[in-house]
Amino acid sequence: MTDDLDGARDHYRATGLTERLRTTLAAFGPDEQRLTPEQLANLDQFHTRGLAATAELAKLAGITARMSVLDAGSGVGGPARFLAATYGCRVMGVDLSEPFVDAARYLTERTGQSGQVSFETASALELPFDDGHFDVVLLQHVAMNISDRARLYREIRRVLKLSGSFAIFDVVLNSGDPHYRDRPQRGHAERRSPQSSNRVASGKRSRSAIRVRQLRSCVVPARTSILP
């Protein structure tokens, strides 16, 4: 398991990410100039269909202003900032990549949401929260990177309140074997498979399990590059 986590950290290391974002965002003005989550939507949603998928998943989860939400595998924080701005909820994001968490904090300062949205470096397999802490847990394109899915879902159930909601949007393999091909010259790995689905599901935590309430599937050609 340690090797898997170390591999994921290396894959998503993104050294110097915050400085690259600062340079890119200079087009909007100096660091002191407030940005909106919508202005960042083209660069801070690290999953298929981007902001539209986040909005759909949030609707399925039934998020409201009084809820505490966990975004597990939060990347640079785009979904978390969108949820807070749209619903008025408090959001905690966790990600295995320290550069992603640093970038998420920087971008959240730029949108003026640091009092409502926060981030920690942590593994989704060892969440640093008490049992029954969150009303909603969201997961987007994270489970596909984790081999021990049972442990992942047990941990999510643990931090959910009783009758809390879990909503997931992920890539799953319909047929054939996955194939990973490293491409060091471009600094990322390419994932290929014969056919995969983007699958959206939501469910409620019961006393002993997470019960699926809704499931949608959309088949797409599988040729996904994670980082440029």
Burial bucket for residue 108 (CB in 10 Å: 0-12, 13-18, 19+): buried
**For 152-206, how does the pLDDT look when each residue is reduced to its tens digit (9 = 90+)?**
999 999 999 998 999 998 876 666 555 443 333 333 333 333 344 455 555 566 5
**For 6-64, how does the pLDDT look when each residue is reduced to its tens digit (9 = 90+)?**
544 454 456 688 999 888 898 888 888 999 988 898 888 777 777 888 899 999 999 99
Q: Range with the lowest mean pLDDT among 28-42, 100-114, 118-132?
A: 28-42
**For 216-226, how does the pLDDT look when each residue is reduced to its tens digit (9 = 90+)?**
555 444 443 33
Of residues 198 and 124, more confidently modeled: 124
Give yes or no for a contact between 89 and 66, defined as CB atoms under 8 angstroms apart: yes
Task: Please report, for the chain, the start and end positions of each structural domain, with discontinuous segments joined by +.
Answer: 2-225
Q: What is the pLDDT, as a whole number, of residue 221?
A: 45
One-letter amino acid identity for 195? Answer: Q
Residue whose C-alpha is closest to residue 213's, from 172, 171, 167: 167
Q: Region 90-114: what's the mean pLDDT?
A: 95
Residue whose pair of structure tokens reads 């785009």 in the numeric block? 78
Report how many helices (DSSP H) and strands (DSSP E) the chain contains, helices first.
6, 8
Residue whose pair of structure tokens reads 């008490």 in the numeric block? 130
CA distances from 121 to 81, 113, 188 (A): 17, 18, 21
Of residues 217 and 114, more confidently modeled: 114
One-letter amino acid identity for 68? Answer: S
Three-state SS for 228? coil
Q: What is the pLDDT, as a whole number, of residue 194?
A: 36
Burial bucket for residue 44 (CB in 10 Å: 0-12, 13-18, 19+): buried
CA distances from 110 to 33, 34, 37, 88, 120 (A): 7, 5, 9, 18, 18
Residue whose C-alpha is closest to residue 9's, from 77, 81, 93, 101: 101
One-letter amino acid identity for 182? Answer: D
pTM of this structure: 0.75
Q: Region 102-120: what's the mean pLDDT?
A: 96
Q: Which positions ≥6 away from 196 have C-beta within 8 Å? A: 171, 172, 173, 174, 219, 220, 222
Which fold would CATH assign to domain 2-225?
Rossmann fold (3.40.50)
Q: Please give the Cα distance from 20 to 53 (Å, whole number).
A: 26
